[in-house]
Amino acid sequence: MPLGIGCTARPGQGRNNKTGSWRVYYPILDKEKCTKCGTCQLICPEGCINQLPDKSYEIDLDFCKGCGMCAEECPDKAKAITMHKEEK
């Protein structure tokens, strides 16, 4: 699928594209701290952060690989996304 500059593809569908049990960390989004700037959605390499009708965001953990880019790039004044270790 061709993409324009600044566009991202939707995460793949089906069992083959879901994150397996190998993920070490996962993000948690605190909606109270979120400023709804959209940086996390733009920076996510997997395209698994979605904007909801109320303009808030949610992270689809089925496709999240736990890279932490969303937490790293969340603006300092918000820091609404924190990374947590997976319990095995």
User: What is the predicted pLDDT for the residue at 1?
Assistant: 46
User: What is the predicted pLDDT for the residue at 12?
Assistant: 56
**Cα-atom radius of gyration of the chain, to the nearest Å?**
13
The pTM assigned to this predicted structure is 0.76
User: What is the predicted pLDDT for the residue at 2?
Assistant: 53
44 C-beta neighbours (distance < 10 Å), count: 24
Mean pLDDT by runs of 10 across the 88 residues of the chain is 54 60 89 95 94 96 93 91 90
